[in-house]
Chain A
Amino acid sequence: DIVMTQSPDSLAVSLGEGATLNCKSSQSVLSRFNNKNYLAWYQQKPGQPPKLLIYWASTRESGVPDRFSGSGSGTDFTLTISSLQAEDVAVYYCQQYYSSPLTFGGGTKVEIK
């Protein structure tokens, strides 16, 4: 199984400041067939289902604000929130869909400082 490790566990950021969330996979999730990283980021607010933010490691889902960006390749990935807004308080999960079983990281909780 591919193990997804996220860091930090939690992060407190001032409004308007940037936030960097990390995700590391135990094996590469880069396909040599299509040169795509099978890595997604989700945002989950309390009492709600997860919401897709980023897929293919760096493609923003339609309707997601451009302050959210994804980067990385192979085994190391980053979700960046360029200017934190109050509505961004949530837990963020990375997920690999390269191979079964599909696996999620443990999540990073983002709070306002």
Chain B
Amino acid sequence: AQSVTQLGSHVSVSEGALVLLRCNYSSSVPPYLFWYVQYPNQGLQLLLKYTTGATLVKGINGFEAEFKKSETSFHLTKPSAHMSDAAEYFCAVSGTGGSYIPTFGRGTSLIVHP
């Protein structure tokens, strides 16, 4: 079975600082990996995804993530946080073990201080 662990339910950064949100997954085969963002009172929207090919993936709003198979990780980063980045972030995995049902992490709330 696939699973996703997001380390830290809350991450707090200052505006302009580096953002690092951690995601580790368990899978016996290369998975499809996703990061979604949820702004208050909205649905989730895709930030970026990894399917195959280049392991460094760039997404919207300046975010990027790197698939590291040896570490089973897919951490999300952004060089400089903006106040508008404050939101809930979800890591998700699918496509492993013949299952196309996605598994989501528990989410990380990003807090950005002025």
Are A and B bound to each other? no
Binding site for A on B (CB under 8 A): none
Binding site for B on A (CB under 8 A): none
